[in-house]
Amino acid sequence: MAAPIPTRIPGFHKGNPAALVKLDVFLDPLCDDSEKLWPVLKKVQEHHGDQALHLAIHLFPLPYHKQAFLVCQSAYALRELAKPADQAEFIYKFLDSVFANMDDFIQDHANDAEARTFVAKFMLDKFPGVNNIDLRQALNKNSGADAQTRIAWKYGASRGVCGTPLVFVNDVLSLTLSNSNKQEDWNAFLDKVFNGNK
């Protein structure tokens, strides 16, 4: 079956949608390499600014990170329940919180219910004001957040994403950026793009 058409442009967005350079970055919140890239990505966005650079963060749970799907599902659940005015601020806080506590998510849980309870408690601590019952329901299978997570994953798969981090610059895959967590590499690469690849 083909990937479903998303009801909104996929991802969590920061910056001007009409910017000269658009970055689509696929991250798994429980991936060590994604964690290493995250602070660099924030600095690159800050360096180039919101007017020049549009950043789209796509959550892409890898199947061998056992809790990754549930953690990604919690991001969509929180986005729907908390209705943050600033999507970028929300995803930054979300990823900062998860990456800082990644070891807690990697531990094995006895079953799905225990894992959902752990994720719900963690998210409620980090995002107060969200209703406990609503969040727990949103973390169930067949919820709206579950569907959004599946659609987001299928969107990534339809673009050939098979690992994280993976970076597209103006819709073209960049292995250079995907494989670098050095800010100077990113700035040098993007400066060339901004200057018309001269």
pLDDT digits (tens, 9 = 90+) for 57-94: 999 999 989 899 999 999 999 998 888 788 888 999 99
* 3, part of any domain: no
Confidence class of residue 110 from pLDDT cuts 50, 70 and 90? low
Domain that residue 187 falls in: 12-194
pLDDT of 42 higher than 70: yes
pLDDT of 198 higher than 70: no
The reported pLDDT for the residue numbered 197 is 62
What's 190's domain CATH number? Answer: 3.40.30.10
Give the CA count within 13 Å in the CB-facing half-sphere of 140.
Answer: 8
CA proximity to 187, closest of 50, 41, 18 = 41
The reported pLDDT for the residue numbered 192 is 93
Q: Identify any residues that bridge with 27 across adjacent strands, giving them in sequence order.
A: 59
d(CA 39, CA 45): 10
pLDDT of 136 higher than 80: yes
Mean pLDDT of 108-117: 81
* 7, part of any domain: no
pLDDT of 178 higher than 90: yes
* 142, part of any domain: yes
pLDDT of 132 higher than 70: yes
* 5, part of any domain: no
* 135, part of any domain: yes
* 4, part of any domain: no
The reported pLDDT for the residue numbered 111 is 78
d(CA 61, CA 41): 19
Tally of domains within the chain: 1
